[in-house]
């Protein structure tokens, strides 16, 4: 069964829009775990417009499942991860002003940098993952970084699938297959939803984890958070 990690950034966005602590991020994360999710994901950005760095610290003492922190490995982020020591860190090449993640790493151009950062995290016992476009040509250099996993950037699949084009899955199948042969675990995330998650899971081999936030929280506004978490879990069952 592929694990479901729920990104709670949107809960923080809602809280921050009014100030105060409603909704309570820690309580919602705990509820999501109680409803069956196997992980919590946060993606703090330098401007802290949704998840704050203190949120990442507070969640460390609250999350009882796997804890995944995503972000661009600038010094402030690296220091945070080394302090919190989550289960997993996912490295994402976001620009400072990015609204959301929109590209994976060029592992060839950034090989030296990624290798150094990943080594730092792994020496502290933190599992590492690289946000990657579905491009098999980047896997050899990804393997050289020493990363434990890649997270496939799934926007192109979701966009094609929404238009009725299922062929968009093909580069993801190829990339995941080669990654597994190189001993790299496969995660996925970005624009996965109840509409496309079952097909993605069925087609992509050795899928260990999906990280879903925007769609899951949006769907929960209509269907209820507990119900939606369990709908995802049912679609991810082997």
In a domain? residue 129? yes
Q: 10 Å Cβ neighbour count for 123?
A: 9
Domain containing residue 67: CATH number? 3.20.20.70
Does 7 fall in a domain? yes
Q: Which residues are catalytic?
A: 43, 70, 190
Residue 192's pLDDT band, with cuts at 50, 70 and 90, is very high
- For the chain, how many structural domains are there in total? 1
**pTM, 2 dp:** 0.94
Domain contains 238: no
Residue 119 and residue 146 in contact, taking contact as beta carbons nearer than 8 Å: yes
Does residue 80 register a pLDDT over 70? yes
Give dist(CA 33, CA 126) in Å, integer. Answer: 21
Average pLDDT over residues 37-57: 95
16 within some domain: yes
- Domain hosting 35: range is 3-233
Q: Is 203 contained in some domain?
A: yes
Picking from 73, 76, 32, the residue whose alpha carbon sits closest to that of residue 52 is 76
The yes-or-no verdict on residue 14 having pLDDT over 80 is yes
DSSP state, residue 136 = G
pLDDT confidence tier of residue 100, bands split at 50, 70 and 90: low
Residue 4's Cβ-count burial label (10 Å; 0-12, 13-18, 19+) is buried
33 domain residue, yes or no: yes
Cα(23)–Cα(131) distance, rounded to whole angstroms?
Answer: 29
Quick check: is 8 in a domain? yes
């Amino acid at each position: 069964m592929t694990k479901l990690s729920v990104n709670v950034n949107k809960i923080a966005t809602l809280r921050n829009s009014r100030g105060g602590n409603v909704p309570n991020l820690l309580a919602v994360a705990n509820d999501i775990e109680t409803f069956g999710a196997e992980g919590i994901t946060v993606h703090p950005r330098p401007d802290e417009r949704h998840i704050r760095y203190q949120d990442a610290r507070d969640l460390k003492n609250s999350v009882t499942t796997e804890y995944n922190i995503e972000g661009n490995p600038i010094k402030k982020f690296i220091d945070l991860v080394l302090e919190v020591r989550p289960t997993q860190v996912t490295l994402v090449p976001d620009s400072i002003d990015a609204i959301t993640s929109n590209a994976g790493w060029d592992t060839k151009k950034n090989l030296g940098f990624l290798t150094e950062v990943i080594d730092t995290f792994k020496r502290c016992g933190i599992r590492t993952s690289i946000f990657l476009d579905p491009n098999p040509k980047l896997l050899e250099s990804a393997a050289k970084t020493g990363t434990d996993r890649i997270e496939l950037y799934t926007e192109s699949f979701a966009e094609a699938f929404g238009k009725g084009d299922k062929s968009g899955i093909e580069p993801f199948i190829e990339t995941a297959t080669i990654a597994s042969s190189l001993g790299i675990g496969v995660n996925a995330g970005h624009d996965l939803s109840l509409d496309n998650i079952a097909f993605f899971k069925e087609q992509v081999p050795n899928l260990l984890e999906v990280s879903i936030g925007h769609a899951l929280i949006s769907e929960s506004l209509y269907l209820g958070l507990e119900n939606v978490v369990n709908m995802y879990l049912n679609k991810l069952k082997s």
